[in-house]
């Protein structure tokens, strides 16, 4: 080992061991997770390191729901769809007797939890198609400004994770290009990704419906069709990341079994690779859930993380704060 | 007018008129096309200009074949597919009697020109699927290094247009992010886009086939399937640009009717917009073709460019040189 160190020193390739300090990732406790991140970034961005990556190769991909922001008690986009049904109900008297609309309008959460695939598809079609992409973005923007989380009473964009905001900024400061690869709708997410995360629309990947060019008032616009294009979840994540990026990322971050294929595919590439799983362990400050969760189930991927030595964030232990300080105090 | 100028000067909003000089876009003659480019970039990037765009909004999208590199006498990717059939023929004795393979192996160009859609699909399936994305990229890279253009006797990556290379660099120097949106295959193009144009894989949009995650030697890889995902041509261009970028570009560059929908959609956005059509007028130095061409037909889009005042490049008149100086001299 000593000979190896000397040889590396001669080659100018020794990298100072990463040290956690209070200025870097200040909302992270000094834990193995934080040190693993600092170490990987140091190894891949220090000139002369055997793991050095040229800036163009520094690609990091993040799941969104449960990785960058709160996904409980339901995905924000689910709350959005429900609110859209309520807003559009006066134009659809037939919804009073048709599922899933009747259950939504009656506030029947038990029935909502049991929706089958065709009913979910009908819900998405009714709330996510027929309008132009521009109009849809305006509707989402308005909703994000006014809707409140049922427990924290904050707008959803204030329920991003402060430690992850710091991580995104830290990676970018080290030449990493940060992308989102989410199971959520690509157009929904793009509305807030730039403001909330500093991630521009062209660096957001997500589930999508088909689009069609139409002339409206003599002007070409893109209209959202009620037809699925791709679901960016499970094996769909590597497929869509390849379509958008043309290569494997070197870092991937997720929190559920839906991210497992993305994490496996990322670390299977040659050269230095990094996979991280956010484990929701903090019922007091956020939520605690994993193997039995309906939303954000983390089971097989948690086992694989242990087996393969992926970095696991224990939110309760590793994060000093969960949400950014905002105009509203956190409450239970 | 004078009062307006004074008012604008007071507001600090007057932009110096663009002046063509020899240092900027040196391979472009001082013509209306060059001045239109310089003017637009000046207006959109000069602080205080009424048309100023924040750097994040500066998005320029380029068609590839015929806009950035030579597409005659056939698309490079067509030559690639033909060469692949020849290379793979020993493993496929049945190709000697099946079309389109028999025509290719017999060098029957007249038959090739008449291939119908199912035959073209069979050709693409045989040459563009079954392998991993990594292996496909290696094959393309090898081909680009060895194949030669039938007239210019240069490798295809040396048949990019020198004036467009200068334009790409000029736009990037002014904060524009440059993308490709091509009818060609996304994976084919990504192999050379970074080296040839300085455009990284994640900024390339193109036609694509479906992909599938498979374990090979215990390692997840993406395998190319013989099933179409999307054709990035005509109305497919706005649709795919929206999928990848989440917004309209502000500048778009094309050369054929296949680019018309992209150009129309780009200029229909609010704020400053720029559309340019490359018109192939130079039979001596490259090729002259437009309304009657089998490859790169430019007819309706040429009329629309005239009607709507889009910038048209006349290659013979506007470009001092066509191809970069390379190890091989140009020849006829």
Q: For A247-298, how does the pLDDT look when each residue is reduced to its tens digit (9 = 90+)?
A: 999 999 999 999 999 999 999 999 999 999 999 999 999 999 999 999 999 9
The H or E element containing residue B43 is helix B32-45
pLDDT of residue B7: 41
Distance between A99 CA and the closest CA of chain B, angstroms: 31
Task: Please report which confidence band the pLDDT of residue B22 belongs to, taking 50, 70 and 90 as the band edges.
Answer: low
Band the pLDDT of B49: cuts 50, 70, 90.
Answer: very high
Strand partners, B275: B252
Question: Which one, of B222, B322, B153, B236, lies nearest residue A236 by Cα?
Answer: B222
3-state secondary structure chain A: CHHHHHHHHHCCCCCCCCCCCCCCCCCECCCHHHHHHHHHHHHHHCCCCCCCCCHHHCEEEECCECCCECCCCCCHHHHHHHHHHHHHHHHCHHHHCCCCHHHHHCCCHHHHHCCCHHHHHHHHHHHHCCCEHHHHHHHHHHHHHHCCCCCCCCCHHHHECHHHHHHHHHHHHCCCEEEEEEEEEHHHHHHHHHHHHCCCHHHEEEEEEEEEEEEECCEEEEEEEEEEEECCCCCHHHHHHHHHHCCCCCEEEECCHHHHHHHHHHHCCCCCCEEEEEEEECCCCCCEECCCCCCCCCCHHHHHHHHHCCEEEEHHHHECCCCCCCCCCCCC
Query: Which candidate in A202, A207, A228 is best for mutational testing of the B interface (most B CBs within 10 A)?
Result: A202
Is residue B87 scored above 80 in pLDDT?
yes
At residue B6, the pLDDT reads 40
What confidence score (pLDDT) does residue A329 get?
Answer: 45
Residue A268 token pair: 């299977």
pLDDT > 90 in chain B, percent: 85
Mean pLDDT of chain B: 92
Extract the tokens encoding B250. 């502000």
A243/B contact by beta carbon, under 8 A: yes
Q: A242 at the B interface (CB within 8 A)? A: yes
What stretches in chain A show pLDDT beneath 50? 1-17, 328-332
- CA proximity to A51, closest of A241, A272, A248: A272
Contact status of A275 with chain B (Cβ, < 8 Å): no
**3 state SS for A67-102:** CCECCCCCCHHHHHHHHHHHHHHHHCHHHHCCCCHH
- Which of A210, A213, A235 comes nearest B238 by C-beta? A213
Q: Indicate the range of A147-151, A310-314, B116-120, B178-182 predicted with least confidence.
A: B116-120
- The tens digit of pLDDT for each residue in A23-43 reads 899 999 999 999 999 999 999
Nearest CA among A253, A305, A287 for reference residue A75: A287
State whether residue A59 sits within 8 Å of chain B by CB: yes
Q: Which residues of A touch B220 (CB under 8 A)?
A: 238, 261, 264-265, 268
Q: Give residue A283's pLDDT.
A: 98
A133 contacts in B (CB within 8 Å)? 242
Give yes or no for B6 touching A (CB within 8 A).
Answer: no
Instruction: Give the torsion sign (CA, A273, A279, A285, A286).
Output: positive
Question: H/E element holding B316?
Answer: helix B315-318
Q: What is the pLDDT of residues B263-285, one digit of tens each?
A: 999 999 999 999 999 999 999 99
Report chain A's terminal Cα–Cα distance, integer Å. 52
Pick A219's closest partner by Cβ from B187, B213, B268.
Answer: B268
Q: Is the Cβ of A219 closer than 8 Å to some Cβ of chain B?
A: yes
Contacts of A56 in chain B (CB under 8 A): 194, 200
According to the model, what pLDDT value does residue B12 have?
Answer: 38
- What pLDDT is stored for residue A332 in this prediction? 39
Query: Do B265 and A177 lie within an 8 Å CB cutoff?
Result: no
Confidence at B18, pLDDT banded by 50, 70, 90: low
Instruction: Give the pLDDT mean for B291-299.
Output: 96
Whether A264 contacts chain B with CB within 8 A: yes
Q: Is the ipTM of this complex over 0.90?
A: yes
Nearest to B239 by CA among A191, A125, A221: A221
Chain B residues whose beta carbon lies within 8 Å of the beta carbon of residue A177: 202
Between B21 and A54, where is the model more confident?
A: A54
Chain B nearest-CA residue for A209: B243
pLDDT value at residue A296: 96
d(CA A216, CA A218): 5
**CB A100, CB A196: distance < 8 Å:** no
The reply to whether residue B177 touches residue A202, judged by beta carbons under 8 angstroms, is yes
B200/A56 CB distance under 8 A: yes
Residue A83, both tokens: 């609110």
The nearest alpha carbon in chain B to A213 belongs to B235
Of A59, A219, A239, the CB nearest to B211: A239
**Residue B240: which of A237, A57, A230, A252 has the closest Cα?**
A230
Q: What pLDDT is recorded for position A19?
A: 54
What A1-10 contacts at long range (C-beta under 8 Å, 24+ apart), as own/partner pairs, is A8/A50
| pLDDT tens-digit readout, B121-160 | 899 999 999 999 999 999 999 999 999 999 999 999 999 9
Contact B239 A245 (CB under 8 A): no
Among the partner-chain residues B202, B219, B221, the one whose CB lies closest to the CB of A244 is: B202
pLDDT at B19 over 60: no
Count of Cβ atoms closer than 10 Å to residue A292 Cβ: 8
pTM over the 0.80 mark: yes
CB contact B59 to A (< 8 Å): yes
The answer to whether the CB of B102 falls within 8 A of the CB of B126 is: no
Please report the pLDDT score of residue B331 as a whole number: 43
Checking if the pLDDT of B194 tops 50, the result is yes
Q: In chain A, what residues touch B190 (CB-CB under 8 Å)? A: 246
């Amino acid at each position: 080992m000593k000979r190896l160190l000397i040889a590396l020193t001669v080659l100018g390739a020794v990298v100072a061991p990463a040290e956690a300090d209070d200025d870097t990732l200040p909302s992270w406790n000094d834990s193995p997770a934080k040190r693993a991140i600092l170490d990987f970034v140091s190894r891949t961005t220090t000139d002369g390191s055997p793991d050095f990556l040229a800036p163009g190769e520094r690609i990091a991909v993040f799941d969104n729901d449960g990785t960058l922001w709160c996904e409980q008690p339901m995905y924000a986009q689910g709350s959005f769809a429900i609110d859209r049904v309520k807003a559009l109900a006066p134009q659809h008297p037939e919804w009073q007797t048709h599922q899933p609309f009747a259950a939504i309008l009656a506030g029947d959460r038990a029935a909502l939890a049991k929706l089958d695939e065709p009913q979910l598809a009908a819900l998405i079609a009714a709330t996510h198609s027929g309008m132009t992409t521009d109009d849809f973005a305006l509707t989402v923007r308005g909703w994000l400004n006014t809707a409140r989380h049922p427990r924290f009473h904050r707008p959803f964009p204030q329920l991003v994770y402060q430690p992850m905001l710091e991580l995104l900024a830290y990676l970018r400061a080290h030449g990493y290009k940060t992308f989102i690869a989410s199971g959520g709708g690509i157009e929904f997410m793009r509305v807030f990704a730039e403001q909330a995360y500093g991630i521009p629309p062209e660096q957001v990947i997500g589930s999508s419906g088909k689009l069609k060019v139409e002339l409206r008032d003599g002007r070409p616009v893109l209209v959202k069709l009620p037809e699925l294009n791709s679901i960016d979840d499970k094996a769909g994540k590597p497929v869509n990341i390849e379509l958008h990026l043309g290569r494997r990322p070197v870092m991937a971050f997720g929190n559920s079994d839906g991210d497992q294929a993305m994490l496996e595919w990322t670390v299977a590439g040659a050269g230095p690779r990094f996979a991280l799983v956010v484990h929701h362990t903090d019922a007091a400050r956020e939520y605690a859930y994993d193997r039995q969760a309906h939303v954000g189930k983390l089971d097989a991927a948690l086992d694989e993380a242990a087996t393969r030595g992926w970095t696991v964030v224990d939110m309760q232990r590793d994060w000093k704060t969960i949400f950014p300080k905002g105009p509203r105090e956190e409450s239970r």
